[in-house]
């Protein structure tokens, strides 16, 4: 499915104020995993209170042991510090990488800003090599901007 077709569905899910935020974020993860064939694991991490670490909030895909990730560790931890998108075409080429599953080949992590502060991120793992383009980045930036509005 095209990203442009998913955008109105993202907005529709997020505006359902009768549902808890966690449920809405879960539906976003599920929407992406179900409709984008190379999105195999989709999750949101957020800064864990005042600690220098990320905590897994909501995800769809294989269960992961990496519920807590210290700032600076792995792709996610690096994005928590850099405030920059991180696109990894080949996870095996990364030194500072936390493996969740042996089948994962690539990853994209996009920071989520609220009032200019990096408070979390969306993380996608793919079992396809080098699938992510600038279109994924622009789409996921849009998603994070919309999510920030309900936080």
Select the span of 24-32, 92-100, 110-118, 139-147 touching ligand SME (CB under 6 A): 92-100
We find the least distance from the C-beta atom of residue 54 to ligand SME, in angstroms, to be 8
23's enclosing H/E stretch is helix 21-35
Among 64, 71, 113, 119, binds ligand SME (CB under 6 A): 64
| Residue 9 interacts with ligand SME (CB under 6 A): yes or no | no
* Cβ-based neighbours of 141, under 8 Å, separated by 6 or more: 85, 110
Distance, in Å, from the CA atom of 107 to the CA atom of 65, rounded to the nearest integer, reads: 17
Binding flag, residue 75, ligand SME (CB under 6 A): yes
Minimum CB distance to ligand SME, residue 36 (Å): 16
Which residue(s) pair with 57 in the sheet? none
Q: How many residues bind ligand SME (CB under 6 A)?
A: 15
As measured in angstroms, the least distance from the Cβ of 8 to ligand SME is: 28
Q: Exposed, middle or buried, 93 (CB in 10 Å: 0-12/13-18/19+)?
A: exposed
Q: Which 25-54 residues touch ligand SME, going by CB under 6 A?
A: 41, 43
Sheet holding 106-114, edge to edge: 68-70, 53-60, 41-47, 117-126, 106-114, 86-88
Structure token pair of residue 114:
């609220």
List interacting residues with ligand SME (CB under 6 A): 41, 43, 64, 66, 69, 74-77, 97-98, 100, 107, 123, 125
């Amino acid at each position: 499915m095209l990203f442009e077709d998913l955008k109105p569905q993202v907005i529709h899910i997020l505006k359902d104020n009768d549902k808890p935020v966690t449920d809405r974020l879960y539906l976003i993860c599920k929407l992406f995993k179900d409709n984008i064939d190379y999105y195999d694991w989709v999750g949101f991490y957020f800064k864990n209170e005042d600690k220098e670490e990320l905590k897994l909030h909501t995800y769809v895909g294989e269960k992961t042991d990496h519920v807590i990730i210290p700032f600076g560790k792995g792709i996610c931890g690096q994005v928590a510090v850099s405030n920059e998108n991180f696109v990894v075409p080949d996870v095996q080429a990364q030194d500072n990488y936390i493996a969740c599953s042996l089948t994962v080949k690539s990853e994209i992590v996009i920071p989520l800003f609220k009032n200019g502060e990096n408070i979390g991120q969306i993380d996608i793992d793919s079992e396809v090599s080098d699938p992510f383009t600038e279109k994924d980045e622009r789409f996921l930036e849009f998603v994070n901007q919309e999510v920030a509005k309900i936080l």
